[in-house]
A and B are shown apart, each in its own frame.
Chain A
Amino acid sequence: QITLKESGPTLVKPTQTLTLTCTFSGVSLSTTGVGVGWIRQPPGKALEWLALIYWDDDKRYSPSLKSRVTITKDPSKNQVVLTMSNMDPVDTATYYCAHRVRDIASGIYYSAFDVWGQGTMVTVSS
């Protein structure tokens, strides 16, 4: 069974850097095809994809946030870390990490997300 859990500060000040950690179990980021993404959701609004890291350390970023966001992984700790610089009140949201789905029939991984963490609410305020 795959599980993911986000951790990090619940409150950050404007201009500060946010660091969130996704700790997972039941899967290895060293396994071909595996990937973990970050998605956020402002209160009452839609989902927004932020970043994705693959087993081979390839990375993808949302263009609108690329200059502010970095995603890294530590397979030995089963963790993926998201950092976001220059935080602003508009970045107030629930931040989720999620696992890429593996099609059971073919064994191929796709970038839809089948297992999500519970989410962590981050408020940006002075």
Chain B
Amino acid sequence: ENVLTQSPGTLSLSPGERATLSCRASQSVSSTYLAWYHQKPGQAPRLLIYGASSRATGIPDRFSGSGSGTDFTLTISRLEPEDFAVYYCQQYGSSPWTFGQGTKVEIK
């Protein structure tokens, strides 16, 4: 299976700062079938990005995704208070679909 490794484990930033999250796959992700979610405590995950760079419906443009092959990045241009959460990447290029272990973005 395609193992996804996210880094860093925790990112401590202030509102208004830029966040850069990494997701590295153990095998190439076919057709850039890579998604990003965030999850707040007690809530279900919310899809932010699919196809490595396409924003899901209703997602603000401060969220952007990039990458291909085995290296992918989620960038949040200016952190808003509601963006502090845990972020997961998911690959769906090959079964079994797999998730990364998560990156927590916390308020500094």
* Alpha-carbon distance A116/B43, docked complex (angstroms): 10
In the complex, the chain B residue whose C-beta lies closest to that of A94 is B44
**In the bound complex, do residue B96 and residue A96 qualify as a contact, i.e. CB atoms below 8 Å apart?**
no
Are the CB atoms of A119 and B44 closer together than 8 Å?
Answer: yes
B11 within 8 A of A: no
Question: From DSSP, what is the main secondary structure of chain A's interface residues?
Answer: strand
CA distance A104 to B54 in the complex (A): 11
Query: Do B56 and A101 touch (CB < 8 A)?
Result: yes
Is B45's beta carbon under 8 Å from chain A?
yes
Q: Is the CB of B44 within 8 A of A46?
A: no
For chain B, give the interface size range: 20 to 34
User: Does A62 sit within 8 A of B, measured CB to CB?
Assistant: yes
Number of A-B contacts (CB under 8 A): 66
Asked whether A110 and B92 contact (CB < 8 A) given A101-B50, A116-B44, A119-B44, the answer is: yes
Contact in complex: B35, A112 (CB < 8 Å)? yes
Binds A, one of B17-25, B75-83, B99-107: B99-107
Given A46-B88, A49-B98, A63-B96, verify A114-B57 contact (CB < 8 Å). Answer: yes
* B51 contact set on A, CB distance < 8 A: 103, 110, 112
A: residues with CB less than 8 A from B are 37, 39, 46-49, 52, 60-64, 96, 98, 101, 103-104, 110-114, 116-119
Q: B-side interface residues toward A, CB under 8 Å? A: 1, 33, 35, 37, 44-47, 50-51, 54, 56-57, 88, 90, 92, 95-102
